[in-house]
Structure 1
Amino acid sequence: MEVFQTVINYVLNLGSAIFVPLIILILGLLAGMKFKKAFMSALTLGIAFSGMSMVIGYMSNAVSPASEALAKNTGISLPALDLGWTGAASITWSWSYAFIFFAVTIGVNFVLLLFNWTKTLNVDMWNVWGKALTAYLVYYVSGSLAAGFLTAMVQVILELKLGDMFQKHIQDLTGIPLVTVTHFMTSAAVLLLPFNMIMDKIPALNKRADTNALKKKIGIFSENSVMGFIIGLGLGFAAAYGVSGSLNLAIQTATALSLFPMISKMFMQSLSPLADAMSEFMKKRFKDREVYIGLDWPILAGRSEIWVTAILLVPVFIGYAIILPGNQVLPLAGIINYSIAVGGLLLTGGNLARMLILGILTMPIYLYGATYLAPILSDLAEKSGAVEGIKKGQLITWSSIEGPEFRILFAEAFNRNILAIVGCVIFLGLFVLLYKYMIKAKVPSERYAELQK
């Protein structure tokens, strides 16, 4: 067991830019690709992930200090320290059972593929820690380790079905065939669905409002660089950066938003040959079957709607943290809420107006989810010593925790909370409704009427 854990830790330390391309290389060879072509596909994917990670880090390093300054200007002090997803991941990996969820993830995926209950092959093993976090949360609340593992298995199934339902939309948004996203942040669409269905009835919100469509209406102001500059400038002034600091932040955000689409093209360049090879492989051996390759969310990061939404919602996130009764979290490391942005992108087909409205309506749930998580994550961190330099008794959390309603409802349901059991039934019902909604929905490029000039 210790040897297996050592191997897993070694693989994790390689990083996603090496680990995921290695899996892609193996898949390519198994699908019949020549080594040279499979190697170049894997290498290009590694470069794409590494490049996207660098730009996301660059963006976060620029926006997060401004967000912190904006928060400090409010004068508010809240007890739970936001360490973001990186802090949550490092703490989760310190749990002695965490590495077992590689086997859980692979095993459940294998069974569903075997019985043709999913078309998605999840190769995003880097985010296995998310299943471990869910299991620990349920275990902590209910006292049942079995309940924790069962809930994690449910999460794996949901991720695969999310991959199935969103695949055609992701292909339309990215241009990459037979690729999908299996990251649990896409489950935000379940929470957003009822509000989006209401907006389906509002004519003004049923026109194309992605950045490409907006170019016809607002011209230069819809360019990635200009949008980034304006948003960064506004955030800088809101954070009291002054003229010089605000202009620097404006250039930084403009740079990031300009680079995202450039790097995203490398995902298409690397994954299209693999998709073709996998398609031919399946046609030869399994008639009338397709397999989608499930990857991490950065394959969508070239869509500027994600970044416009996430950054514009920063002041909203801070505002909610100040006014919501019972909230204990001031968003810092997790201030950029990717869940709402990515889930909103897929659900609405990139409709910026809808994405912003959905974010404003649902952000409080993330703060309350982070407040709920704080004592649980803090307890694990204290027991394992995973976080250094934290004072005893200090609460730590993750302000933009993915799927907070799923994790909390199942934890409380296994704790025999009747309302939570009802909530689980409602959540799963909404998930089924979302599946039917997305399978029926037109792809983003065909969904809305063109904006009038």
Structure 2
Amino acid sequence: MKVLSDVVQSIINVGPSVMLPIIIFIVGLIFRVKPGKALTSGITVGIGMIGINLVINLLTTSVGPAAQAMVKRFGFHLTIIDAGWPAVSAGTWAQPISAIMIPIILVVNVGLILLNLTKTLDIDIWNYWHMIAAAATAYVVTKNWWFAILCGIIYEIAVLIIADKTAPKVAEFYGLDGISFPTGSAAAYGLLGIPIGWVVSKIPGIRKWDVDPQTIQKRFGVFGEPMVMGIVIGMLLAALGGYSVPNILKLGMSMGGVMFLMPRMVKILMEGLIPIQEGAQKLLQEKYGNRKIYLGMDAALSTGSPATLATGLLMVPITLFLAIILPGNRVLPFGDLATIPFFAALIVPSRKGNIVHSVLSATIVMVFALLMATDFGPTLTSMMHGIVAFPKGASEVTNLDTGGNILNWLILKLSQLVQPLFN
């Protein structure tokens, strides 16, 4: 098992910019795309992913310190620290159940496609860790391999269903035709956020607040440009963090750069995916008529939308404020603050890019997320104990990506319910 785990981890460590071109090339050949075209598509996707990762790195390294500065400036005192998804991911991969879950996830996905029970072919293997985290949660609670594997499969099926159901909105809003988002965190936040958003849009008065990037640009001219919106939001975050004027301007320009560059990076990646998607649809039409298939990709592609980025960035100070005032919350948001834009990936399209409705919906979702993350604290602390270094002053650790994820939380509750059966 250790050998298998080491092999899997070495593949994961290569990174998407190397592995994605290989996967896209193989998938292209399976869908009868000419080898030369499949190779070019794979390389283009890899280059697009390099660009996206560069911009995401700019986003996280800029917003992360600003969020940490806010925490320090306002003197928040909460006992469970949000360690962020990288720490929880490390804890997940260290569980004995993790190595065997990769092939199981692949086999289940292909089987569901062959049985026409899903349309999503999840090629985003780096985010398989979300499904593995569900299995690891069940294993930590029950110590039963078979139940843990079952929980991982249940989580996978739930994510694939959500990805299938939301793919039409992803195509309509983001322009990503033939793409779905089977990213565990985005799917879980969407599962709550989409119906909540529908309710928000029906509230008298609020329902008339139609504020999307196009409306802002129309009303405010140059000040409504996405990159200018990014600059304003970045400066707001820096000001809340107590930055000096030069650093406020610097963070503002960084966020303006993210808003400007991300759509262009996504466009490059999509240029590579189009031939593969066309080949897949052609093959499926020959064999199954009008059956459609979606390529499951990282929800990070959603940050090519100014509305999604704006919603996510505005949620950073809102989440910190909620953590202070919310009764029953013990979580200090920290590590996952910079990744909140990815949580909004499916919420924003359901609101047609309306930033006000999206922020209100995400705020309500975050109330539940903080409480679930609080409840998840002991289990995630146990999972990560001795594997990752705990932040200074933390008695327990959790995170918003996994601990605040309703799908994982339901797996936790199910595991705790059946745990006496395995004693």
**TM-score of the superposed pair, with normalisation by structure 1:** 0.85
- Letter in structure 1 aligned against 2:57: G
- Letter in structure 2 aligned against 1:197: W
- Letter in structure 2 aligned against 1:199: V
CA deviation after TM superposition for structure 1 residue 130, in Å: 1.0
Structure-2 residue corresponding to 1:375: 378
Structure-1 residue corresponding to 2:72: 72
**TM-score of the superposed pair, with normalisation by structure 2:** 0.91
Write the distance in 2 (CA, Å) between the matches of 1:165 and 1:104.
Answer: 23
1:76-123 per-position Cα deviation (integer Å, ceiling 9, x unaligned): 222333221111111110111101111221122122112211111111
CA deviation after TM superposition for structure 1 residue 160, in Å: 1.3
CA deviation after TM superposition for structure 1 residue 162, in Å: 1.6
- Letter in structure 2 aligned against 1:38: A
- Letter in structure 2 aligned against 1:411: L
CA deviation after TM superposition for structure 1 residue 299, in Å: 2.1
1:350 counterpart (341, 353, 377): 353
CA deviation after TM superposition for structure 1 residue 352, in Å: 1.0
Write the distance in 1 (CA, Å) between the matches of 2:46 and 2:326.
Answer: 42
Structure-2 residue corresponding to 1:273: 275
Structure-2 residue corresponding to 1:359: 362
**Structure 2 residue ranges without an equivalent (≥5):** 419-423
Give the SS at the match of 2:180.
strand
Write the distance in 2 (CA, Å) between the matches of 1:402 and 1:388.
Answer: 18
- Note the 1:27-426 alignment, pairs <5 A: 27-184=27-184, 185-202=186-203, 205=207, 209-336=211-338, 337-382=340-385, 385-388=386-389, 394-401=395-402, 404-416=405-417
Structure-1 residue corresponding to 2:26: 26
Give the SS at the match of 1:301.
helix
CA deviation after TM superposition for structure 1 residue 370, in Å: 2.2
1:117-174 per-position Cα deviation (integer Å, ceiling 9, x unaligned): 1111111111111112112223333454433222211111112112211222212233
Alignment check: 8 A CA contact 2:25 2:42 kept: yes
Distance 1:174 1:270, change over 3 A: farther
Alignment check: 8 A CA contact 2:170 2:180 kept: yes
1:351-408 per-position Cα deviation (integer Å, ceiling 9, x unaligned): 21111111222212222222223222222222xx422476798422213437622222
Give the SS at the match of 1:81.
strand
Give the SS at the match of 2:116.
coil
**Structure 1 residue ranges without an equivalent (≥5):** 418-453
Give the SS at the match of 1:367.
helix
Write the distance in 1 (CA, Å) between the matches of 2:168 and 2:402.
Answer: 26
- Letter in structure 2 aligned against 1:309: T
Alignment check: 8 A CA contact 2:134 2:151 kept: yes
Write the distance in 2 (CA, Å) between the matches of 1:402 and 1:210.
Answer: 30
Distance 1:321 1:201, change over 3 A: closer
Give the SS at the match of 1:116.
coil
CA deviation after TM superposition for structure 1 residue 207, in Å: 7.1
Distance 1:258 1:390, change over 3 A: closer
Distance 1:389 1:199, change over 3 A: closer
1:166-203 per-position Cα deviation (integer Å, ceiling 9, x unaligned): 22221223333312111122231221234223234347
Distance 1:17 1:113, change over 3 A: same
Write the distance in 1 (CA, Å) between the matches of 2:404 and 2:346.
Answer: 11
Alignment check: 8 A CA contact 1:20 1:125 kept: no
Distance 1:267 1:207, change over 3 A: farther
- Letter in structure 1 aligned against 2:242: A
Give the SS at the match of 2:295.
strand
Write the distance in 2 (CA, Å) between the matches of 1:166 and 1:270.
Answer: 22
Structure-2 residue corresponding to 1:433: none
Write the distance in 1 (CA, Å) between the matches of 2:369 and 2:152.
Answer: 20
Alignment check: 8 A CA contact 1:313 1:359 kept: yes
Write the distance in 1 (CA, Å) between the matches of 2:343 and 2:299.
Answer: 12
Aligned residues: 415
Alignment check: 8 A CA contact 2:311 2:341 kept: no
Write the distance in 2 (CA, Å) between the matches of 1:355 and 1:147.
Answer: 37
Sequence identity (%)? 28
1:203-249 per-position Cα deviation (integer Å, ceiling 9, x unaligned): 75367533134322332222111101111112222211132221111
Alignment check: 8 A CA contact 2:197 2:358 kept: no
Alignment check: 8 A CA contact 2:403 2:409 kept: no
Write the distance in 1 (CA, Å) between the matches of 2:199 and 2:290.
Answer: 37
Write the distance in 1 (CA, Å) between the matches of 2:414 and 2:83.
Answer: 27
Write the distance in 2 (CA, Å) between the matches of 1:52 and 1:303.
Answer: 13
- Letter in structure 2 aligned against 1:52: I
1:24-79 per-position Cα deviation (integer Å, ceiling 9, x unaligned): 11011122222221111111111111211111111111111111111111112223
Alignment check: 8 A CA contact 1:66 1:239 kept: yes
Alignment check: 8 A CA contact 1:121 1:293 kept: yes
Write the distance in 2 (CA, Å) between the matches of 1:369 and 1:338.
Answer: 19
Distance 1:195 1:177, change over 3 A: closer
Write the distance in 2 (CA, Å) between the matches of 1:393 and 1:247.
Answer: 33
Quick check: 37-46 or 321-330, which moved more?
321-330
Distance 1:154 1:342, change over 3 A: same
Write the distance in 1 (CA, Å) between the matches of 2:245 and 2:383.
Answer: 43
